[in-house]
């Protein structure tokens, strides 16, 4: 039977109650026997629902040397189960106009579907079947190897994909988070079925599974459906196992620890493109670092919108780029922070110098109170606007469970953003500016 546990901390006094009501009043969490966690959020008035099955395993967990096998496995779950062919799975979602897909990350894998609420039982049943009972047949695996090689080739033809991947590997070096999620053509050509099968059997267990859903969903019904569907797939949900959390490495690593480079890299990747794609950046905060709210303000001011410093300096004043922005992503034990632009190859040094100058100016001079106020407004409005679709809410629940072990209410998130000071931003900018800095360019340059 489902066991309800407290999950959401109450909103702080003075926070926007309407956002809080929208955000968290309908969130529930249960742990099924066997350790499967189920989270749901009922969104009144919606006729659709998105459900996702999250497994807390990603490309960083590939210890066998068979890089890309997590993503390979994700593909193979759609290729047939004990009860369903690949065509059966495809037809089930197509027949109701649903959208089913999956995403492999560096630290988790998610299988999800968006359907009318009346089709939610079907979606739960099919996804649970895939998670418990994939066959990984040799013939299907060999065909899918070709599909994945095409996917890697497609990504390789997208210069902005290439620069982001090269940047992560440049900044994180030999750290497992530095590897490309999908592997390389070489590793994909060589990965044997046994390695994928072992990965599947080892990581896809009740204790690592999180099911989250949002929209027109009833929590108790969902829990019963999940339990039934997993049992039908042969999973033993009788024992009293506890959920397994993300590895216990939620502290930030300094350079040099776990293979993080102690100096920045300068890297040029040759492509016959019209534009240069360039990122300059460094390691950054973990996903659970308290200063992540400061980082989000810093990011908004530097490169988070049309009024940001990068957009104004690089695009609006000088017309040097169409696309320019800053970004940050956090993982369990480190993260990355970067400034991106796509520009004429002949101007790439000028653009890098401009981006670095704006970054260092943040470290040297406090942002204005108007900038602080605007970025807080931007983050607050974006937080609420970003929570109107079922997919975002489903994702928020899954990540809260896998990354944080607790859901921060929207009210509390807003409060944390509002608490950021001009000094906080300057201190963090200075710290980031002092880290080993890497520059990665993709374009018509010499190797």
Q: Which residues are catalytic?
A: 74
34-53 residues near its own copies, rule: CB under 8 A:
44-48
* Beta pairing class for 37-42 and 209-215: parallel
Stretch that binds its own copies, among 202-210, 340-348, 359-367, 426-434 (CB under 8 A): 340-348
Q: Return the structure tokens found at 145.
A: 């190897």
174-233 residues near its own copies, rule: CB under 8 A:
none
Q: Which residues of 178-217 are buried (b: 16+ CB within 10 A; e: fewer)?
A: bbbbbbeeebbeebeeebbbebbeebbbbebbbbbbbbbb
* Beta pairing class for 321-330 and 209-215: unpaired
Stretch that binds its own copies, among 87-95, 129-137, 252-260, 287-295 (CB under 8 A): 87-95
4/316 with CB nearer its own copies: 316
230/355 with CB nearer its own copies: 355
149-168 residues near its own copies, rule: CB under 8 A:
150-151, 153-154, 156-159
35: left (phi over 0), alpha (psi -120 to 50) or beta: left
Q: How far apart are CA 101 and CA 214, in angstroms?
A: 16
The residue to which tokens 């940050």 are assigned:
328
Q: Is 388 in the site for its own copies (CB under 8 A)?
A: yes
Q: How far apart are CA 381 and CA 209, in angstroms?
A: 32
66/271 with CB nearer its own copies: 271
- Report in angstroms how near the CB of residue 153 gets to its own copies at its nearest: 4
The number of beta carbons lying within 10 Å of the beta carbon of residue 157 is 11
246-275 residues near its own copies, rule: CB under 8 A:
271-275
- Give whole-number Cα distances, 179 to 41, 63, 170, 187, in Å: 34, 12, 10, 12
Stretch that binds its own copies, among 55-63, 86-94, 230-238, 394-402 (CB under 8 A): 86-94
152/172 with CB nearer its own copies: 152
234/272 with CB nearer its own copies: 272
- Report in angstroms how near the CB of residue 414 gets to its own copies at its nearest: 11
Candidate residues 17, 18, 368, 421; the one interacting with its own copies per rule CB under 8 A: 18
**Which residues, including other chains, have CB under 8 Å from residue 17's CB and lie 6 or more apart?**
11, 411
Q: Is 318 in the site for its own copies (CB under 8 A)?
A: yes
423-442 residues near its own copies, rule: CB under 8 A:
none
Q: How far apart are CA 226 and CA 188, in angstroms?
A: 33
Candidate residues 116, 241, 265, 408; the one interacting with its own copies per rule CB under 8 A: 116
**Which residues, including other chains, have CB under 8 Å from residue 257's CB and lie 6 or more apart?**
none
Binding letters toward its own copies, positions 278-317, x by CB under 8 A? --------------------------xxxxx--xx--xxx
Q: Is 91 in the site for its own copies (CB under 8 A)?
A: yes
185/436 with CB nearer its own copies: 185
18/423 with CB nearer its own copies: 18
Q: How far apart are CA 286 and CA 418, in angstroms?
A: 20
Torsion of CA 30, 19, 406, 422, to 10 degrees: 180
- Report in angstroms how near the CB of residue 327 gets to its own copies at its nearest: 16
90/249 with CB nearer its own copies: 90
CA distance between the termini of the chain: 60
- Give whole-number Cα distances, 226 to 32, 163, 209, 219, 396, in Å: 9, 40, 11, 10, 19
Stretch that binds its own copies, among 26-34, 112-120, 163-171, 199-207 (CB under 8 A): 112-120
E-strand spans in 77-172?
99-104, 109-116
- Report in angstroms how near the CB of residue 97 gets to its own copies at its nearest: 2
Closest CA to 218 of 40, 47, 392: 40
Candidate residues 20, 35, 52, 98; the one interacting with its own copies per rule CB under 8 A: 98
- Report in angstroms how near the CB of residue 301 gets to its own copies at its nearest: 10
Candidate residues 76, 77, 134, 148; the one interacting with its own copies per rule CB under 8 A: 148
Q: Is 405 in the site for its own copies (CB under 8 A)?
A: no
175/418 with CB nearer its own copies: 418
- Report in angstroms how near the CB of residue 438 gets to its own copies at its nearest: 22
- Give whole-number Cα distances, 212 to 14, 32, 188, 288, 395, in Å: 29, 13, 31, 20, 8
Q: Is 382 in the site for its own copies (CB under 8 A)?
A: yes
Stretch that binds its own copies, among 109-117, 170-178, 259-267, 403-411 (CB under 8 A): 109-117
Candidate residues 36, 285, 343, 440; the one interacting with its own copies per rule CB under 8 A: 343
Residue 377: helix, strand or coil by DSSP? helix
Q: Please state the length of the chain.
A: 447
């Amino acid at each position: 039977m489902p066991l309800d546990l407290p999950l959401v901390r109450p909103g702080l006094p003075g926070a926007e109650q309407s956002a809080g009501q929208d955000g968290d009043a309908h969130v529930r969490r249960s742990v099924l026997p066997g350790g499967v966690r189920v989270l749901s959020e009922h969104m009144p008035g919606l006729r659709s629902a998105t459900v996702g099955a999250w497994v807390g395993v990603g490309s960083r967990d590939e210890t066998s040397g068979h890089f890309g096998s997590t993503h390979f496995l994700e593909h193979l779950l759609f290729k047939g189960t004990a009860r369903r062919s690949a065509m059966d799975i495809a037809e089930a979602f197509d027949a109701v106009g649903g959208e089913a897909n999956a995403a492999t990350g560096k630290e988790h894998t998610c299988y999800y579907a968006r359907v009318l609420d009346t089709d939610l039982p079907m979606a739960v049943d099919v996804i649970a079947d895939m998670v418990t009972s994939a066959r990984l047949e040799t013939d299907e695996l060999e065909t899918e190897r070709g599909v994945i090689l095409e996917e890697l080739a497609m990504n390789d033809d997208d210069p902005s994909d290439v620069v982001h991947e090269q940047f992560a590997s440049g900044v994180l070096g030999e750290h497992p988070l530095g590897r490309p999620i999908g592997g390389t053509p070489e590793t994909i050509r060589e990965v044997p079925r046994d390695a994928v099968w072992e990965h599947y059997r080892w990581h896809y267990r009740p204790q690592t599974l999180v099911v989250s859903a949002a929209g027109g969903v009833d929590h108790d019904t969902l829990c019963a459906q999940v339990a039934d569907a997993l049992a039908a797939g042969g999973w033993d949900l009788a024992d009293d196992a506890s959920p397994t959390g993300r590895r216990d490495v939620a502290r930030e690593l300094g350079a040099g620890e776990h293979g993080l480079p102690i100096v920045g890299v300068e890297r040029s990747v040759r492509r016959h493109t019209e534009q240069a794609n360039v990122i300059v950046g460094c390691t950054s905060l973990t996903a659970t670092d308290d200063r992540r709210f400061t980082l989000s303000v810093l990011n908004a001011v530097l490169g988070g919108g049309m009024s940001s410093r990068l957009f104004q300096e690089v695009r609006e004043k000088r017309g040097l780029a169409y696309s320019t922005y800053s970004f940050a992503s956090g993982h369990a034990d480190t993260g990355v922070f970067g400034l991106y632009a796509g520009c004429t190859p002949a101007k790439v040094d000028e653009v890098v110098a401009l981006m670095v100058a704006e970054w260092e100016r943040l470290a040297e001079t406090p942002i204005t109170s108007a900038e602080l106020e605007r970025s807080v407004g931007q983050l607050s409005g974006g937080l609420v606007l970003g929570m109107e679709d079922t997919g975002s809410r489903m994702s928020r629940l899954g990540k809260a469970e896998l990354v944080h072990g607790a859901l921060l209410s929207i009210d509390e998130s807003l409060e944390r953003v509002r608490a950021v000071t001009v000094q906080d931003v300057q201190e963090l900018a200075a710290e980031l500016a002092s880290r080993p800095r890497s520059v990665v360019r993709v374009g018509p340059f010499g190797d």
